[in-house]
Amino acid sequence: MAKMCCLGSNNKMTMTIRETVDYLRALDFLTAQLPRESLRLFFIPSFTALSAASACAGGIDLGAQNMCWEERGQFTGEVSPLMLREVGVSIVEIGHSERRHIFGETDEMANRKVLCALSHGFTPLLCVGETAEQRACGIADEILRIQLIRGLRGVSAADAGRLMVAYEPVWAIGAGGTPAAPDYAGEKHAVLRQTLCALFGPAGAEIPLLYGGSVNLENCGPLALLPEVDGLFIGRSAWEPAGFYRIIQTVLPIFKIKNGPC
């Protein structure tokens, strides 16, 4: 079977319910004809927009930007896996750089969420990435290995096939971020792939590895060409349906050649 190409966008704290619905309707219209056997297209809106989004997402999978590791209880401000199931979520984003660096999430918390997401039938999308300081100190590879090993602790090789991992260097993300040069991203994806294979054996080679951080129309092609890049996780450049669609049109033929016919 051909490897899945995964293309998604994290909307962070950006669109309202109305804006999310308009966006998804337009994106679904633009992408409705794309074959889905080897493409997973997803969008991760704000929590408040999920319910309305699930009514109009069409062929676009929906994700949540975070999730509690408990089903219910005294966890003010958290969202339960049961609540996410109610609103049609299939992907749970875990350990995004902004969660780790603004809200203090640790690898241990990410790990609890990964295990909880798996046990509730979601696809966990674990995000990892080094800071500029860690890169400057020459410890980026170690940081990536630690984030994967600790974040995926207790995941079985049988469940590994249900994971997605995004490499998002912290210094590359958001306004003011610098996109990773393809050579650099390629090196780090190779480190991540080796670590996933060491953890899960052959199943580690099948886990979709996405690059994220200032992806745009100019750099999406060179990034998609990298051997260990199976998809892109995009912020700002995907927040206009036409802009996201142009990126999709640019990279799909590249992934098709890399991954082979389905």
Residue 55, number of CB atoms within 10 A of its CB = 11
Q: How far apart are CA 71 and CA 85, in angstroms?
A: 11
Does residue 189 carry a catalytic annotation?
A: no
CA distance 58 to 44: 14
Helix (H, G, I), strand (E, B) or coil at 11: coil
What minimum distance in Å lies between the beta carbon of 93 and ligand 13P?
A: 7
Distance CA 187, CA 121 (A): 32
Nearer to ligand 13P, 179 or 186 (CB): 179
- 81-84 contacts: CB < 8 A, separation 24 or more? 81/116, 81/117, 81/120, 81/122, 82/120, 84/50, 84/120, 84/122
Contact flags string 212-231 toward ligand 13P, x per CB under 6 A? xxxx----------------
Residue of minimal CB distance from ligand 13P? 235
In the set 117, 160, 236, 247, which binds ligand 13P (CB under 6 A)? 236
**Residue 247 burial (10 A CB sphere; 0-12, 13-18, 19+):** buried
Q: Minimum CB separation from ligand 13P for residue 8, in Å? A: 8
Catalytic, out of 96, 130, 189, 228: 96
Binding mask 160-199 for ligand 13P (x = CB under 6 A): --------x----xx--x----------------------
- Tell me if residue 96 is catalytic: yes
* Cβ-based nearer residue to ligand 13P, 113 or 236: 236
List interacting residues with ligand 13P (CB under 6 A).
10, 96, 168, 173-174, 177, 212-215, 233-237
The catalytic residues are 96, 168
